[in-house]
């Protein structure tokens, strides 16, 4: 298990990122109508969407974006690093428009999402690539030294930090019928980058020129984000930089380089059982 692994409401977390008291505080959050929330399972392209949302809401101002790290501009609601003020408390005091993200379940927010006009962007990526990305992230961020097959077993036991991928999406996709919730897919953003930025700006009520859309597309290309210290987190002291980079590969289908036949069938069944009923295609 990663350092400080603990269970809260049946879901695994690590105390390097949040604490029990902090998670309880997250349940009390009050949303405002101009809030924007990205809800995603880890490794589904959250940072990518954070940067796009930030630039859309800040008129494609890439200079302003460079002034601080993405995690400070679009913070994670539940983060509470030791010795620092928790994000949830900072958010309470923030008088400006709040852009934020979470990997928590709906039970923390469902009533607030229903009762406010907060805009929620639910992000999904295919399970295979998400797990491969998570495997590399475990090595980078938690000093995990097992191989891919051992990591897959942790997934099968639903012991990964933030819990099971499928449970996570079955929970959140229920909220898709709310008028203030949309779904974006990593694979679609890869394929239709400009159209995705356009869709995002429409949803967020921003009118951007085609020039501004183009600026955002370029600033959020894989290469630009890999070279951007504000997004690639090369200075993050929590990471073992020998293991590679946070913005790693950014491809669709990398799972095929790792999954054996049994693992492929396992995921296929879970896709059929849990995601197919939502007719995401």
Does residue 27 bind ligand A3P (CB under 6 A)? no
Q: Report the distance separating Cα 106 and Cα 123, nearest Å.
A: 14
Coil, helix or strand at residue 10: coil
3-class DSSP state for residue 184?
Answer: strand
Residues 6+ apart with CB under 8 A from 208: 56, 59, 60, 197, 198, 201, 216
**Residue from the set 12, 17, 31, 43 that interacts with ligand A3P by CB under 6 A:** 43
Stretch 47-66 residues interacting with ligand A3P (CB under 6 A): 47-48
**Phi and psi at residue 214, to the nearest 5°:** -65, -40
Residue 133 backbone dihedrals phi, psi, to 5 degrees: -65, -40
- Binding residues for ligand A3P, how many (CB under 6 A)? 20
From 3-11, 43-51, 104-112, 141-149, span contacting ligand A3P (CB under 6 A): 43-51
- SS3 (DSSP) at 267: helix
Q: Which is nearer to ligand A3P, 12 or 45 (CB)?
A: 45
Catalytic residues, which ones? 103
| 210-219 helix and 193-203 helix, angle to the nearest 10 degrees | 120
Which residue shows structure tokens 């690093």? 81
Residues 240-269 that bind ligand A3P (CB under 6 A): 247-250, 254
Q: How far is the CB of 174 from ligand A3P (least distance, A)?
A: 21
Of residues 63-122, which lie at the interface with ligand A3P (CB under 6 A)? none
Helices (H), 60-219: 62-65, 70-73, 87-93, 110-115, 127-142, 148-156, 165-173, 186-191, 193-203, 210-219
Q: How far is the CB of 161 from ligand A3P (least distance, A)?
A: 12
Which residue stretch of 11-19, 63-71, 79-87, 128-136 sits at the interface with ligand A3P (rule: CB under 6 A)?
128-136
> Binding residue for ligand A3P (CB under 6 A) from 44, 87, 196, 263?
44
Q: Which stretch of DSSP H or E encloses residue 121? A: strand 119-124
Q: What angle do CA 207, 209, 213 make, to 5 degrees?
A: 95
Nearer to ligand A3P among residue 19 and residue 130 (C-beta): 130
Q: How far is the CB of 163 from ligand A3P (least distance, A)?
A: 15
**Binding mask of the shown chain, residues 195 to 234, with x at each position contacting ligand A3P by CB under 6 A:** -------------------------xxx--x---------
* Residue with Cβ nearer ligand A3P (25 or 130): 130
The least distance separating ligand A3P from the CB of residue 269, rounded to whole angstroms, comes to: 23
Interface with ligand A3P by CB under 6 A: which residues? 40, 42-48, 129, 133, 136, 220-222, 225, 247-250, 254
């Amino acid at each position: 298990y990663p350092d400080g692994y603990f269970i809260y409401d049946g879901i695994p977390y690590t105390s390097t990122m949040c604490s029990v008291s902090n998670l309880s505080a997250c349940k009390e959050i009050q949303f405002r109508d101009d809030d924007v929330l990205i809800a995603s399972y880890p490794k589904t392209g959250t940072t990518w969407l954070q940067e796009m949302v930030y630039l859309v809401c800040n008129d494609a101002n890439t200079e302003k974006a460079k002034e601080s790290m993405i995690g400070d501009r679009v913070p994670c609601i539940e983060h509470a690093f030791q010795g620092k003020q928790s994000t949830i408390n900072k958010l309470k005091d923030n008088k400006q428009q709040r852009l934020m993200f979470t990997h928590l379940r709906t039970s923390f927010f469902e009533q607030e999402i229903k009762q406010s006009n907060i805009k929620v962007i639910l992000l999904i990526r295919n399970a295979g690539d998400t797990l491969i990305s998570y495997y590399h992230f475990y090595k980078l961020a938690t000093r995990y030294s097992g191989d891919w097959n051992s990591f897959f077993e942790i997934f099968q036991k639903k012991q990964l930090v933030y819990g099971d991928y499928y449970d996570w999406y079955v929970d959140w996709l229920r909220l898709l019928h709310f008028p203030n919730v949309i779904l974006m897919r990593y694979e679609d953003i890869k394929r239709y980058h400009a159209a995705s930025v356009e869709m995002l700006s429409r949803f967020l009520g921003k009118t951007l020129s085609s020039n501004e859309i183009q600026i955002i597309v370029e600033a959020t290309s894989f290469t630009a984000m890999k070279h951007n210290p504000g997004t690639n987190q090369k200075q993050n002291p929590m990471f073992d930089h020998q293991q590679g980079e946070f913005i790693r590969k950014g491809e669709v289908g990398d799972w095929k380089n790792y999954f054996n036949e049994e693992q492929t069938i396992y995921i296929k069944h879970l896709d059929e059982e849990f995601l197919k009923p939502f007719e995401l295609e």
